[in-house]
Amino acid sequence: MAIKINAQVTGYGPQPANTQALVIITVEFDGPSEAMTFTVLVPNDGDEGIVREQAIARAQNLARRFAELRRSLPPSPPMMPSG
């Protein structure tokens, strides 16, 4: 399975200190037709590379928690075609 991870810093806040960075993480599985997007807040230390690394780690943790939650729930009924 090919995985592509993109991290984009989209803003800083709260004003005026800008101590947090808002980062959008997009994870593509086998191409853009299957993807997850996470929006996370991480500490802003002024180094965008470190901010991205922290955001990816945070998104990985969220994905892991989501997978664990999903395993603990009963199976979903099959989706019905719309239309």
Q: What is the pTM of this model?
A: 0.69
Q: Give the CA distances from residue 4 to residues 13, 34, 39, 61, 68, in Å, rounded to whole numbers and listed in that order.
A: 28, 11, 16, 17, 22
Q: What is the DSSP string of 15-63?
A: TTT--EEEEEEEEEESSTTSEEEEEEEEE--S-HHHHHHHHHHHHHHHH
Domain residue extents for the chain: 3-71
pLDDT score, position 83: 59
In tens, the pLDDT along 18-64 reads 899 999 988 888 777 888 888 889 999 888 899 989 988 988 888 88
Q: Is residue 83 classed as helix, strand or coil in its secondary structure?
A: coil
